[in-house]
Structure 1
């Protein structure tokens, strides 16, 4: 991404540069994890197995661990190292769980985490075309971010978006298991690294519910094309600026929806939503809605739009 300074009708290109030391970039990111990546800090220079991981973070929305690595040079393989670290994580779940419990007041067991959602993030000044092509598969749990610094204390952090079109589920699932197995991950770990997909979560739903979900999805993406769709084992999350805005749970003959707003923030004059602020539920937010048809779709979309507008204003 190019950065320009505007002076009336003229523009001056601001030249960026890489960070001199990996540690300097690491300190910046670790001190601002929630702002930059929407994550919570767990550990720095965490040694486990044969490796020392730069940063271990926690994604609260996905209930999963994230490994972050910082690179100054482009002479490394994001695939080989990435899968080696992910394999180490999955083979040392107890170590990660204990470190989490040391960092947070809440106490969790190994089985409380979503291990299928773990991923690794690489942050560097730039990446080669080979590295970008290597991770250009939506099924791979590896993400790339380019970090550049500018004069006057500015910096940019931009994710390299994956542009390949996901294959049908059966192909993607089997191909992904083969890919990770080729990198030395046993079949159990390969299965865990195969994250849930929209198709999986929708496969038991009726055609009517599938169409209803698609209509709502189309509307959300029309409002904001930067929505990131994150399926979990329990629901399909629509994220913006690292935070879930709306969550969907497809059922056979209904669609459950959660809006990530606190109690009192939603204007629902027809009282279609249910207050779940003191009730256990899977999605994010204090408002739950169950839909069986599109009879009130326009009104329901107006409720979802309130959640989107709130998160857009906050960021």
Structure 2
């Protein structure tokens, strides 16, 4: 895919990608815009833990978990080994993370109130090699890959590397005894949630219904991505929740993240759940047992997309 500028006559001129001069340049962009880019709360930079320094530490307020972000220029290094080592260090120093978070934000977070099972590490680079990309496909590894590209006209292209097909299998084995113990320690605590985990409760017709809605929603915009959590499946755009789907045995609950009255729901199919206890984000909720109104629902969802 190429980026072009179009002049008034309709002529195209390709916008060339230019490399970041320093790894620090990418780091500063992310840290100064972390909520906008990833929907995360920035905690600290160059965070010292034992003999290591984490480039960026962030907090996921929705999942109540810490996120480590590393910026890479070397395509030859293993994201799995570094990722698991850093997650291990975080899990061995939980109190330090919580204390520093509380000191910065004046909060009363406790070690037990953090969901360490949802800890994760994000690697950011202009591109990744095939081995690195394959490593991120293991759905039981809490590793994400994000690409950040800079162009000569000042534009930036930033986003997660799509996980086309995740791999459900044991964490890759290593002959290194120390690495093996680190992998085992991390995998015993960190348990990334998958779509399959949430779909286990659903009947076969509801699984098919979810798949239909999922494909249709993702087709609305290339920037949408799926992020399951323990309660529902989130459709995110630029780090912000746009649509949530709760999975039940015989139905789905779909939420659109907007305040009541902000969207045009001409058929009045959506329930105002602003005063009702619920898990999903937003005041618009609809119970789904079929795809009769799929196209209409998509038209309402479009209203919250950028």
Q: Report the TM range for the smaller structure's normalisation.
A: 0.7 to 0.9
Give, in angstroms, the shift of residue 31 of structure 1. Answer: 0.7
Shift of 1:188: 5.4
Cα 1:192/1:281, change in 2 over 3 Å: farther
Native 8 Å contact 1:137 1:162 kept in 2: no
Equivalent residue of 2:182, what SS? coil
Deviation string for 1:178-224 (max 9, x for gaps)? 68x95433645304333122222121223343333233223323434
Q: Superposition pairs for residues 95-114 of structure 1, below 5 Å?
A: 95-104=96-105, 107-114=108-115
More helix by percentage: 1
* Equivalent in the alignment of 2:143: 142
Instruction: Measure, in 2, the Cα distance between the counterparts of 1:138 and 1:155.
Output: 28
Q: Deviations along 1:147-176, whole A, 9 cap, x unmatched?
A: 33333433333543334x234xxxx1x513
Gaps of 5+ in 1: none
* Cα distance in 2, alignment partners of residues 274 and 177 from structure 1: 46
SS in 2 for 1:223: coil
Match of 1:298 in 2: 292
Q: Which residue of 1 aligns with 2:304?
A: 311
Contact 2:84-2:183 at 8 Å conserved across structures: no
For the residues of structure 1 that align with 2:203 and 2:126, how far apart are their CA atoms?
Answer: 47
Kindly tell me: are residues 241 and 147 of structure 1, through their superposed partners in 2, closer, same or farther at Cα, counting changes over 3 Å? Answer: closer
SS in structure 1 at match of 2:171:
helix
- 1:83 counterpart SS class: helix
Task: Report the alpha carbon displacement of residue 54 of structure 1 after superposing the two structures with TM.
Answer: 0.8
- Cα 1:28/1:111, change in 2 over 3 Å: same
1:210 aligns with 2:210: no
Per the normalisation by structure 1, the TM-score is 0.81
Alignment RMSD? 3.0
2:116 maps to 1:123: no
Aligned pair count reads 302
> Paired residue for 2:283?
286
Q: Which TM-score applies when normalising by structure 2? A: 0.83
Structure 2 contact 273–285 (Cα < 8 Å) conserved:
yes
Partner of 1:4: 4
